[in-house]
């Protein structure tokens, strides 16, 4: 048991549960120059042993010096020394401990695989649940990344949309400006056409008034004698024209 405590590796200590992990972390805090160094991951299985309780590190330590039988000779000699010097005395408690150890070993050999399989099953279920949570978190984070990329793409497209809207507003302003210019042009043209029509009307009315005035004055200036002479002259001219026309017809 003392050799197990002396030659127990760090991997075996880590596999011994939360207490072992805490001891390893404490050893790192006291021995490591960098207290912020990350703690190595805990192994899933403990170190190798021989005969169920003797660590493999003891055999590897004594193999270069004593060979294959060295650990066994050391164990047998140490046991003989303890018994011969009566450091440990065999009594009824020894037989009780042997019986209890035999029962424990039998129970471990008999029911150990089933208990280990059940524990592995529980561990696998926990690992599976943790993996499902991890996958769900990864999926949600990946979806969040995709959503963020889509929002960034929308933000870039929003700039283009704003540019298009600015262009549309500029085109509307230009259209309104041209419509107003066209309206002003039409109004000015109408005013000018009105002035031209008004001047034309004034000129025509002046001409008509002048013609009427001249005609009235001429008619007023004609005497009855002149009127009779004019009528006689017209009748004479008509007769001359009639004779000329008859002469052309006779030919």
User: Model confidence over 203-229: pLDDT tens digits?
Assistant: 999 999 998 888 888 777 777 777 778
Q: 47 and 55 in contact (C-beta within 8 Å)?
A: yes
Domain assignment present for 251:
no
Euclidean distance between CA atoms 58 and 157, whole angstroms: 70
Q: 34 and 61 in contact (C-beta within 8 Å)?
A: no
DSSP letter at 223 equals: -
Q: What backbone torsions phi and psi does residue 75 show, to the nearest 5 degrees?
A: -65, -45
Sequence-ordered list of residues with C-beta below 8 angstroms from that of 117, at least 6 positions apart, any chain = none
Indicate the pLDDT class of residue 50, thresholds 50, 70 and 90: confident
The SS3 of residue 55 is strand
Structural domain containing residue 98: 50-164
The SS3 of residue 57 is helix
Q: What is the mean pLDDT of residues 6-27?
A: 43
Q: 29 and 35 in contact (C-beta within 8 Å)?
A: yes
Euclidean distance between CA atoms 202 and 196, whole angstroms: 10
Domain assignment present for 1:
no
pLDDT digits (tens, 9 = 90+) for 147-169: 999 988 888 888 888 888 999 99
Select from 68, 94, 70, 99 the least CA-distant residue to 82: 94
- At 113 the pLDDT is 86
- At 14 the pLDDT is 41
Domain assignment present for 2:
no
Sequence-ordered list of residues with C-beta below 8 angstroms from that of 55, at least 6 positions apart, any chain = 3, 4, 7, 8, 9, 12, 47, 48, 49
Domain assignment present for 172:
no
DSSP letter at 15 equals: T
Buried b (16+ CB within 10 A) or exposed e, 134-166: eeeeeeeeeeeeeeeeeeeeeeeeeeeeeeeee
Average confidence score pLDDT of the chain? 81
Domain assignment present for 77:
yes
Q: 211 and 205 in contact (C-beta within 8 Å)?
A: no
Domain assignment present for 63:
yes
- Number of domains, the chain: 1
> Where are the extended beta strands (E) located within the chain?
49-50, 54-55
Domain assignment present for 132:
yes
Residues 128, 130, 133, CA angle at the centre, nearest 5°?
110
Domain assignment present for 135:
yes
Q: Is residue 52's pLDDT more than 50?
A: yes
Sign of the CA dihedral running 20, 22, 26, 28: positive
Euclidean distance between CA atoms 188 and 84, whole angstroms: 137
């Amino acid at each position: 048991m003392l050799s197990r405590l002396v030659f127990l590796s760090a991997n075996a200590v880590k596999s011994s549960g939360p207490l072992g992990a805490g001891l390893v972390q404490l050893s790192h805090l006291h021995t490591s120059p960098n207290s912020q160094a990350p703690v190595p991951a805990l192994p899933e299985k403990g170190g190798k042993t021989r005969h169920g309780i003797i660590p493999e590190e003891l055999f590897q330590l004594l193999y270069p010096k004593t060979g294959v039988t060295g650990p066994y000779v050391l164990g047998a000699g140490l046991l003989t020394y303890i018994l011969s010097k009566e450091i440990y005395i065999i009594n009824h408690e020894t037989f009780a401990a042997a019986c209890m150890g035999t029962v424990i070993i039998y129970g471990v050999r008999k029911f150990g695989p089933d208990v280990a399989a059940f524990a592995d099953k529980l561990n696998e279920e926990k690992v599976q649940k943790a993996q499902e949570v991890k996958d769900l978190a990864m999926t949600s984070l990946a979806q969040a990344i995709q959503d963020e990329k889509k929002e960034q793409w929308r933000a870039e497209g929003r700039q283009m949309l704003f540019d298009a809207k600015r262009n549309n507003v500029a085109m509307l302003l230009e259209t309104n400006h041209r419509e107003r210019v066209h309206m002003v042009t039409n109004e000015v043209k109408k005013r000018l056409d009105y002035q031209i029509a008004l001047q034309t009307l004034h000129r025509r009315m002046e001409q008509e008034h002048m013609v009427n005035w001249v005609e009235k004055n001429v008619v007023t200036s004609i005497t009855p004698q002149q009127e009779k002479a004019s009528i006689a002259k017209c009748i004479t001219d008509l007769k001359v024209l009639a004779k000329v026309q008859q002469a052309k017809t006779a030919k």
